[in-house]
Structure 1
């Protein structure tokens, strides 16, 4: 059965490119959400195998979303990969201390996105 990934990002074009790439290249089943609050609800109901989470979003940012996912017993075990332009060492350390599984820098290369996600999660595809 295909692994399921939830993409939480407020930008339509990024969601679409990431979804297309992960489905076509990786054979993953991809769900999407436009906001942190929508993403939390989808994570609870759909129980994806992993979450790709944008850091910079209006209303609820990625870090706040991540903390709420971690505080929820239904979603606390789902690995989270951040999609972020914040790739400095200090940011990476802070994200690791929070318990974030990994990071994919933005803008990402659609041709390598599936490899990056699979590598961080230790998945074969």
Structure 2
């Protein structure tokens, strides 16, 4: 899996996405609810390469990045890659989330756990 992580980190760098700050380190103890109601924690994904992508519908660079990330996700899904999108759009439901039907990877509609400072979008 270390080799896969290095490949994913290099590929994400090539896409212009941010590499993980602590590759191979412990994950953030988050709980999430995905579209469709599935609940998950990052602990459920232990041993897999996980990319969390923050985006917003009003963000032009986000809209340019999403097709690149979607293609990468499709290419490496069979190898165990997990990508989870988190929108920073304020939503009508009060949850602060929005979704896009063109995104093939799971979208979190609720995230609970330690706050992460998102200083700009897109951020992965």
TM range (shorter): 0.3 to 0.5
Q: TM-score, normalised by structure 1?
A: 0.34
Name the structure, 1 or 2, with higher relative contact order (CA <8 Å, separation 6+): 2
Higher radius of gyration, 1 or 2: 2
